[in-house]
Every structure is written in structure tokens, then in C-alpha cells.
């Protein structure tokens, strides 16, 4: 069954044209924020973060950091907060309204201030990312955040302008597509890289299950870190891949424009909650999802589902690799051969080959994907 949104109700806070005109006429203050928070504002308004209706107040913020739950008691692992920088915020108080600028500096959401409170960025870093080390890109990003958080409901004037906008569905839209396709049980596949054979293996294994009707592949393509693939490259690679290798009545490709949180298990839980809001009943978790370096236990992202029930079923996979002796993608669960037969399929290796201008291995990448990756300027600088 297509699950109910998290918390029972899909949040949708989108203005009609008349309301937009009125709000723009009002000459409200216009505030800018870091890109990660701009993306979050849109996701709140379209319901991807249901049941959250606005940027979090201090009560939710503290409960999430201390207990991994909202003040209502629902599990939640990463605070969604707004911390604009600059003096423009100084005169605004609770009850005031302002417009938040999008990435193009055009106002795109209206926010009514409920509360202003001070945050401790060190505490945030430690609780969410498990480290204060600025070698961690998300921790480094915190330096650009303001010290004061503003809570308040969010109302959307217009959708953000993003790359590959035709793939940026709202939860209402994906729910409608799933229903139209007759899909009751949909597995969500979280990605942040162009597809290679290990990803494909996991997607195919999922599609073969008799309890899965459809697969929703939804790469995170908002703010990524340096050295990641560019958002439009990830989508182009997936586009040719899905078109050439999957049935269109079994697979839907979408994008999720938000900032990637490299927070290991905590990010896994947040991303799974979001996919439930998009209408997915199952969530695929491989090894070290949303991980980075050695910051997180690579299988903690699977175990966290044992501790928190968020109403979406995890589908867990071990690490998958290519074995030349087996002649296919395998996991340690089935392959008896030694490491001398195994080909490293990691993105780290693929990106290294790309940077060195070497040929990409066709054992682990589809030729259509290779063509996209070799097309030039593909890495986020």
C-alpha cells in the first residue's frame, strides 16, 4: 500500500497566484540564506519533510539533537533550521513576515517568524555529524551559518529553479504517478552518483522481489561537496541508463534537490522519512549510505531501522562488487573467491580514472553512462 505521509498528513503550503501578487506588493523584507537552507524551505512547503510545517523552533531543535525525535515524539534525526546571516535580521521579531530569496536571489517563500533563538554550532556539528572536524564538508559549511535560528511556517510563492527541473517532483506528484501506474509497494533508491553495475545489481534485485511493484530512483542533486559529480551529470547519466535498461512501467526517475548530508545513519533515517512522504513503502539501504571517510560505521545505516520505526521498510544489501571468476556482480554472501578476482567498483576509483583521463572500465559501467562521464566538465569544483 502507498503509505500515508509521515505523521499522517501531507503538508502543502503553496500560494495561489493572487496571494503571490499580494505578498510581493507588500514590500516585505527580503532575506538570503545558505543554499542548504534554501533547498530545505522548498521541501518543507511541498511536504517532503511532512509533518514539519516550518523551520524548527527551539523545542523541536533541542529534542531532535538530544533524543532524535520531534517534540511530538516522532523519530527525527537532523534539525531543519533557518539561520540567516547578516544584520538584516536584527530588527525582525516574532510575528513579522519576510521573504526568503531563492538561489537566483528572487524571493520564493514567505516566512512568518514564530521564534528567534541562539544555536551552538559546535553542538549541532557533534550531535548531527558526530564530529567538529572541519575536514567534514557539512561541518565546514556550518561556518557560513548565522548564530540565530528563526522558526516559522513556510509558504511557497514559486518552485526553486533547479537543474533538471522536469525530474523534481513534489510528493503529491509522485503519489499520483505511483497510483496511476498501479504501484502499491514502491522501493526508493537513494543515489548521489551516476549509476554503475553495483547500483544496477541492487536495483535489479529489488525489482525482482515479488513484494515490489515499482522502483523510484531519486538521486540527491542539490548542494553536493567538492569532487562530487555535477547534478546535471548525475541526472543525465541516470536518464540514459533508465531509458536503455529498465521498463518504464517499473521504474520512475526523479531528483531530490536538497543538500546532501554526509551524516551516516542519521541522514539515512531522514532520507527514508522523506521517501515515505514521496509515497514509497520500502527504502533501499546498501553499505555506508550517506557515509564519508571513516566517520560512520558502514552498516549502522541499516541497523538504525531496528531502533526507530518510521513506517517504511528497509531493504538491506551488503557491499556489492564485480567478481571476474563469478563473472558478475556479487556480494560476500555468495562469492567464494579471493580479492584477486574482485574489481573495485567504487566511485573513488571511477573518478580517479576520469581525472587521469584513463578509459572507464565497461565491466562496471554501461557504455551510455561512460559516454556521459567522458563528456568533459563533470566534476563539482
Catalytic machinery residues: 192-193
* 246-305 binders of Zn ion (CB under 5 A): none
- Which listed range, 15-23, 190-198, 298-306, 324-332, lies at the site for Zn ion (CB under 5 A)? 324-332
Distance CA 167, CA 169 (A): 6
d(CA 22, CA 8): 31
Measured CA to CA, the distance from residue 251 to residue 242 in angstroms comes to 8
Q: Which stretch binds Zn ion (CB under 5 A): 128-136, 282-290, 319-327, 350-358?
A: 319-327
Whether omega before 40 lies within 30 degrees of 0, making that bond cis, reads no
In contact, 164 and 232? CB cutoff 8 Å = yes
Nearest-approach distance from CB 121 to Zn ion, in angstroms: 47
Question: Which CB, 260 or 335, lies closer to Zn ion?
Answer: 335
Tell me the three cell numbers of residue 258. Answer: 536538497
Q: Which of 337, 344, 362, 374 binds Zn ion (CB under 5 A)?
A: 337
Q: Which is nearer to Zn ion, 340 or 377 (CB)?
A: 340
In angstroms, how far is CA 111 from the centroid of its own chain?
23
Closest distance of CB 288 from Zn ion, Å: 21
Minimal CA–CA distance to 291: which of 271, 262, 266?
A: 262
Q: Which is nearer to Zn ion, 28 or 343 (CB)?
A: 343
Kindly state the smallest distance separating residue 196's Cβ from Zn ion, in Å. Answer: 18
CA dist 293 → 121, 149, 342, 345 (Å): 22, 30, 21, 16
Q: Per CB under 5 A, does 327 bind Zn ion?
A: no
Asked if residue 30 binds Zn ion (CB under 5 A), the reply is no
CB of 342 to Zn ion, least distance (A): 7
Residue whose grid cell is 538504525: 304
Q: Using the rule CB under 5 A, which residue among 326, 343, 353, 379 binds Zn ion?
A: 326
CA distance 51 to 4: 11
**C-beta closer to Zn ion: residue 45 or 202:** 202
| Minimum CB distance to Zn ion smaller for 73 or for 339 | 339
Grid look-up 531509458 returns 243
Judged by CB under 5 A, the chain residues 167 through 196 that form the site for Zn ion are none
Nearest to 378 by CA among 227, 168, 190, 199: 227
Count of residues of this chain found to bind Zn ion when the rule CB under 5 A is applied: 5
Residues 206-245 that bind Zn ion (CB under 5 A): none
Stretch that binds Zn ion, among 55-63, 140-148, 156-164, 332-340 (CB under 5 A): 332-340
How remote is the C-alpha of 107 from its chain's centroid? 23
Residue span binding Zn ion (CB under 5 A) among the ranges 119-127, 216-224, 235-243, 318-326? 318-326
> Are the CB atoms for 230 and 378 separated by under 8 Å?
yes
Shortest spacing between CB 299 and Zn ion, in angstroms: 21
Distance CA 273, CA 257 (A): 15
Q: Based on CB atoms, which residue is closest to Zn ion, 289 or 331?
A: 331
Least distance (Å) between residue 348 CB and Zn ion: 22
Is residue 325 a contact residue for Zn ion (CB under 5 A)? yes
Stated as kind and residue range, the H or E segment containing 115 is strand 107-118
* Residue 323 sits in the site that holds Zn ion (CB under 5 A): yes
State the residues that interact with Zn ion by CB under 5 A. Answer: 323, 325-326, 335, 337
Amino acid at each position: 500500500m502507498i503509505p500515508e505521509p509521515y505523521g499522517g498528513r501531507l503538508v502543502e503550503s503553496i500560494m495561489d497566484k493572487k496571494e503571490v501578487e499580494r505578498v510581493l506588493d507588500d514590500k516585505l523584507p527580503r532575506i538570503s540564506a545558505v543554499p542548504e537552507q534554501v533547498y530545505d524551505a522548498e521541501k518543507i512547503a511541498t511536504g517532503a519533510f511532512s509533518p514539519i510545517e516550518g523551520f524548527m523552533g527551539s523545542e523541536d531543535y533541542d529534542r531532535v539533537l538530544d533524543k532524535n525525535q520531534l517534540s511530538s515524539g516522532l523519530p527525527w534525526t537532523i534539525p531543519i533550521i533557518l539561520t540567516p546571516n547578516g544584520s538584516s535580521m536584527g530588527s525582525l521579531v516574532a510575528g513579522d513576515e519576510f521573504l526568503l530569496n531563492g538561489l537566483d536571489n528572487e524571493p520564493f517563500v514567505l516566512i512568518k517568524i514564530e521564534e528567534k533563538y541562539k544555536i551552538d554550532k559546535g553542538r549541532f556539528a557533534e550531535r548531527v555529524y558526530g564530529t567538529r572536524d572541519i575536514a567534514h564538508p557539512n561541518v565546514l559549511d556550518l561556518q557560513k551559518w548565522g548564530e540565530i535560528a528563526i522558526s516559522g511556517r513556510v509558504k511557497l510563492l514559486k518552485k526553486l529553479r533547479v537543474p533538471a527541473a522536469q525530474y523534481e517532483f513534489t510528493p503529491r506528484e509522485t503519489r499520483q504517478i505511483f497510483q496511476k501506474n498501479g504501484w502499491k509497494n514502491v522501493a526508493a533508491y537513494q543515489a548521489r552518483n551516476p549509476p554503475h553495475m553495483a547500483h544496477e545489481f541492487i536495483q535489479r534485485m529489488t525489482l525482482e522481489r515479488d513484494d515490489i511493484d515499482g522502483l523510484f530512483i531519486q538521486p540527491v542533486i542539490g548542494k553536493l561537496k567538492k569532487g562530487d559529480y555535477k547534478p546535471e551529470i548525475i541526472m543525465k547519466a541516470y536518464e540514459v541508463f533508465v531509458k536503455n535498461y529498465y521498463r518504464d512501467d517499473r521504474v520512475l526517475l526523479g531528483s531530490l534537490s536538497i543538500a546532501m548530508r554526509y551524516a551516516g545513519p542519521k541522514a539515512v533515517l531522514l532520507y527514508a522519512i522523506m521517501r515515505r512522504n514521496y509515497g514509497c513503502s520500502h527504502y533501499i539501504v546498501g553499505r555506508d549510505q550517506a557515509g564519508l571517510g571513516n566517520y560512520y560505521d558502514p552498516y549502522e545505516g541499516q541497523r538504525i531501522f531496528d531502533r526507530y520505526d518510521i513506517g517504511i521498510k528497509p531493504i538491506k544489501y551488503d557491499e556489492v562488487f564485480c567478481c571476474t571468476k563469478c563473472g558478475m556482480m556479487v556480494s560476500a554472501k555468495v562469492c567464494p573467491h579471493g580479492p584477486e578476482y574482485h574489481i573495485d567498483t567504487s566511485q573513488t576509483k571511477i573518478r580517479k580514472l576520469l581525472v587521469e583521463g584513463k578509459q572507464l572500465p565497461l565491466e562496471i559501467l554501461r557504455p551510455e553512462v561512460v559516454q556521459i562521464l567522458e563528456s568533459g566538465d563533470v566534476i563539482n569544483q
